[in-house]
Structure 1
């Protein structure tokens, strides 16, 4: 009995020793893979976190000769890009032969100041769509703005739906929220589309109600790579047949703001009450859009501080009288801002 008890005690001690050895920290470390270490967050010499952002700038570019005809057949080596006067390397190039779809927003002023010109505006909207949109390729949306911004027809390539939406506009509203209309359409409708982005604004140019400012409208159009064309219903000539269009009022302060909105985004404004001249302008716009190049570059200045940067596009071999249409500036921001 005494011998069995001693043997039992010795066996229990041996088992306890084995269990202690198996569960010891050294054994546990050797039997498990080490936990992966996270990639360290980059910091500067003062311990501040460095935010890393990769950003490309895309520039829709139209080149016109001295007769204001689009110049086609250019390649990447024919262009030079400068940001704040510093040369940039062009890393992406799309020429006019790559027929990307165009998403067009037609934004029509229906404020009280346009009451006598409503029929002219509606016809101008239809004419622009007829001239520029390619069926089964491009898409158009129709919006009106007065004291409210209203989407009457979302993006479609159906001409009959667009005509119906335009014809249904009967009465003007009160105020003019031009800059709000541009801001909302760019933000809500153009951010996610794949293709070229264009807005045509039909207005007398006098914003009276927007929360957004002219600079806000330009900024978001540049962010979304949207080209804006303006049709001023205030800029007629003497003897104009368009009711409500006054002679001799071209290029007042409101017209200058409309011109700036267009030019800063790579477009242009048209000041005429002559319907035939307007149709010729639409044909010119259509040709320009079909002859457009897209240049892409990564800025050498990688500080995304939201400050405005000036952009200049030049031809490597200068052509007499050549004119380049593109956006003139942008404000770099970190992703998510």
Structure 2
């Protein structure tokens, strides 16, 4: 049997090698790894709930809101030189020493679990879903790691859908919405989704916050419209990924998978956050990013030392996917969108989730990748 191997990780300061011992040889892909080895940046940068933006009627043109006209409830990336956004009030966790622990209490212990999302496929790109825990083996820097937990059943998904509604997506916008609807219609019991639209840094809003209500999400998609502006892809991804990571974090159902699906041309023109800050934050979270990149309309002309706009967009999109264990898609025609939507849904549903407690406890600023 001829098999295909899809590596998800690139070796960094700490290398992570995952292989399986099988009676028959299979290929597999490590879809993502996360570690709590870095300290979490606690600055409040989450997106907030906002009212659904109405679709412009055929009779009247849709006015472009200015920063002074920002809708109530909208959370945006701050402008350079502007004051930071207001902090989000979070409930203070109870002090475990303030009350006596009885036999019915739950004791929570912090641990540095590393979670791997593994997709195993055969040579025909079909998922293999019948593997057992003892058929996996994890090595970190050449040292075997004990598997803490292993699941292969379908786990509910928490995911965001971030749609670039700048003018560059106008030609394919209807098909983009149809693909997004196909993804939402595949939601199963326990799944929760939120919808974000982004253009420039002052036009990033949550159209529909997390919900299991498909009708509300579909209505939110129907309300989207194309609008001009300097696209802030990095800001849009930063805020959306942060919102996915923080939602119900530490709750009883925190075992659910977390993902972000981004639809964009990938050309960042005016983001507040630098690219390095985005990837620093992504390394701290367990959010897989899937990107559908419409790059064909971008300029391919490059300067003497600078990359072309298309090359820069492709590099950003590929890095977003590879660094988080997701996937990048570059459709050559809108006819490919239904198949891409199906592949994303299949990836979200057919991965093994494996966690281990690493033997290396050093807090030396490195991370697993």
TM-score band (shorter)?
0.5 to 0.7
Max Rg structure? 1
Aligned-pair CA distance for 1:53: 7.2
Secondary structure of the structure 1 residue equivalent to 2:335? helix
Contact 1:245/1:273 (CA < 8 Å) preserved in 2? no
* 1:48-87 equivalences in 2 (<5 Å): 54-87=111-144
| Higher helix content, 1 or 2 | 1
Secondary structure of the structure 2 residue equivalent to 1:211? coil
The match for 1:190 is 245
Q: Distance in 2 between matches of 1:217 and 1:84?
A: 27
Aligned-pair CA distance for 1:250: 11
The match for 2:20 is none
Q: Distance in 1 between matches of 2:268 and 2:142?
A: 34
Structure 1: tracts of 5 or more residues without a match? 1-51, 236-243, 310-328, 330-337
| Residue 295 (structure 1) aligned to one of 354, 360, 369 | 354
How big is each residue's C-alpha offset from its partner over 1:170-217, in whole Å with a ceiling of 9 and x where there is no partner? Answer: 231412222222222232332243211111100001112223334433
Are 1:101 and 2:162 an aligned pair?
A: no
Contact 1:61/1:266 (CA < 8 Å) preserved in 2? no
The match for 2:304 is none
Structure 2: tracts of 5 or more residues without a match? 1-108, 249-253, 301-307
Are 1:153 and 2:208 an aligned pair?
A: yes
Secondary structure of the structure 2 residue equivalent to 1:123? helix
Are 1:138 and 2:191 an aligned pair?
A: yes
The match for 1:207 is 268
Aligned-pair CA distance for 1:251: 6.9
| Residue 262 (structure 1) aligned to one of 299, 321, 331 | 321
Q: TM-score scaled to structure 2, two decimals?
A: 0.60
| Residue 365 (structure 2) aligned to one of 296, 303, 306 | 306
Q: TM-score scaled to structure 1, two decimals?
A: 0.66
Change (3 A) 1:245 1:181: closer
The match for 1:35 is none
How big is each residue's C-alpha offset from its partner over 1:239-277, in whole Å with a ceiling of 9 and x where there is no partner? Answer: xxxxx6899x99723112201211221111111143332
CA-based RMSD of the aligned residues comes to: 2.7
Q: Report which structure shows greater RCO (CA 8 Å, sep ≥6).
A: 2
Q: Distance in 1 between matches of 2:170 and 2:216?
A: 24
Aligned-pair CA distance for 1:166: 1.5
Contact 2:155/2:257 (CA < 8 Å) preserved in 1? yes
Contact 2:196/2:207 (CA < 8 Å) preserved in 1? yes
Q: Distance in 2 between matches of 1:284 and 1:231?
A: 11
Change (3 A) 1:77 1:218: farther
Q: Distance in 2 between matches of 1:273 and 1:250?
A: 17
Secondary structure of the structure 1 residue equivalent to 2:194? strand
| Residue 129 (structure 1) aligned to one of 184, 189, 210 | 184
Contact 1:62/1:291 (CA < 8 Å) preserved in 2? yes
Runs of 4+ in structure 1 off by over 4 angstroms are 244-247
Q: Distance in 2 between matches of 1:207 and 1:86?
A: 41
Change (3 A) 1:71 1:220: farther
Aligned-pair CA distance for 1:228: 0.8
Q: Distance in 2 between matches of 1:205 and 1:84?
A: 34
Contact 2:244/2:260 (CA < 8 Å) preserved in 1? no
Contact 1:250/1:271 (CA < 8 Å) preserved in 2? no
